[in-house]
Every structure is written in structure tokens, then in C-alpha cells.
Amino acid sequence: MFRSLLVAATVVALSIPTALILIPLAVLTGNVGPLYTVSCAIVRAGFLVAGIRIRVEGLERVPAGRACIFMSNHVSNLDPPALIPRIPGRTAAFSKRSIMKLPALGYAMRLADFIPVDRRGNVESAQQSIAAAKAVLGKGLHITTFVEGTRSKDGRMLPFKKGPFYLAKETGAPCIPVSIYGTETLMAKGNAAIHPGTVRVIFHAPVEPSDFETREELLAAVRTVIASGLPEWMRA
């Protein structure tokens, strides 16, 4: 638990001056790039303090000059900070609406075009999230989504949510399947303790929505690719 407290202290200590300087700068200039870059650097520092190594494969497969939808499995709270700083260019992400209501963090996430979502399954709210995501892609930004919608309790893949695949079919944005593993033992669901170790992040070749007639076929294809990069026991 000491390691978790040390990581939290490091992130807070670095985040306070960053927020005080770069959030007002982003508001004044309309350029969130410096805030995004420094935030990613803070996350990397947190992993360094935690003794966590990130091993990345397949970045060369990500197409240059195209706004993509990165679709990953989800086994730990460490997944977003492990993945997002490794994505080339700037990415927005879907985030719980409750988090985006937090005073400083939520404001920074809104500046970075993060997209609020509700867990309640409200149709109107889902439509609003999809519309916001389409606008983000229209700006040329990537979107990152953890397609199970929640963390797996035991590491095995859960059923995928259909919303991201509806978005992909609507926009034609290439889907980049991502396989993450290792985080399930470094910070398990329901446990705040962080342990040192190695995380694997595998970027797969793009899956083009136009190659599939339905979003269900697209979902199945992306699921197969993500599973191919995971240890066999995780491929439920």
C-alpha cells in the first residue's frame, strides 16, 4: 500500500503546478496540447515510481494522418494510464460522467474533449455521447474506448458494448484493436494496492468498418483480434 501512496503523492505533487499553469493557458489560447503532453508525462512518472514497465508492440501498425478508434480490453484501473500516453497523437476517451464533474480533473478532461458516458443505459444519453464522439473524430482526434464497458473481475474478456461499433460504422474511422495484459495482477479490480511488474500493450493492424456489413460482424472481428494478443486463459 505504501507504493500506492507514493504514486498518488507523486502524481498530486506534479499535477498541482501543471493545473495552475497549463489549464488557464489552455483556456486562454484554446490549445490543450501542452496540458495533454505534460499530463501524459506525469502519468509516465507515476508508473516509474510504481516500478511498472510498459512493453509496447505494434505502434508501426497505426495509420498516420487518420483519426482512429482505439478499442481495448479492460482488466484494471491501470489500463487507461498505461495505454493513452502510448497512442501516437492526441486521443480523447469515453469517461464516466461522474468523474468529469470533478472540479480540476473533470475540467481538464472536458478541455481535452473527453466524452461523458452514463452507465445507466439511457438511450438519449448514449445518443449524446455518440454525437460528441463524432464531433471529436471530425476534429482529427483519436478516440480510445474500453469496449467491455467495465473492468473484468478475473481478467477474462467480457461481452463488448455495441456503441463504439455503431460509432465506427457511422464515421468509417478505422478501429485499432489493442490487447492489454499484466495490469490485472498489478492493480486488481477492487484493490487499491499497486504492485511493480510489466504491462504488455499490443497495437494490432486496423480493422476497417467498411469491410463489414453490420456492426455485429465488426464487433466479432475486433474481438477476435484483441483476443489473439492475450494469454489463452483471458480469451473467454
- Domains of the chain, by residue range, sit at 53-234
Q: What is the CATH number of domain 53-234?
A: 3.40.1130.10
What does the pLDDT look like over 130-187, one tens digit per residue?
Answer: 888 899 999 999 999 999 988 998 899 999 999 899 999 999 999 999 999 999 999 9
- List helix spans (H) across the chain: 2-29, 33-50, 79-83, 103-111, 123-138, 163-171, 183-186, 215-228
DSSP 8-class letter at 139: T
pLDDT computed for residue 121 by the predictor: 61
pLDDT computed for residue 109 by the predictor: 82
CA separation for the pair 26, 28 (Å, rounded): 6
Please work out, in degrees rounded to the nearest 5, the angle formed at the alpha carbon of residue 155 by the alpha carbons of 152 and 158.
Answer: 45
| Buried residues in 53-83 as b, exposed as e (16+ CB within 10 A) | ebeeebeeebeeeebbbbbbbbbbbbbbbbb
Look-up of cell digits 474506448? 145
Question: Whole-model pTM?
Answer: 0.91
Low-confidence ranges of the chain (pLDDT < 50): none
Residues 236/157, Cβ–Cβ less than 8 Å:
yes
What is the CB-side half-sphere exposure of residue 177 using CA atoms within 13 A? Answer: 20
Taking every pair of Cα atoms in the chain, the longest distance, rounded to a whole number of angstroms, is 51
Measured in whole angstroms, the distance separating CA 135 from the mean position of its chain's CA atoms is 18
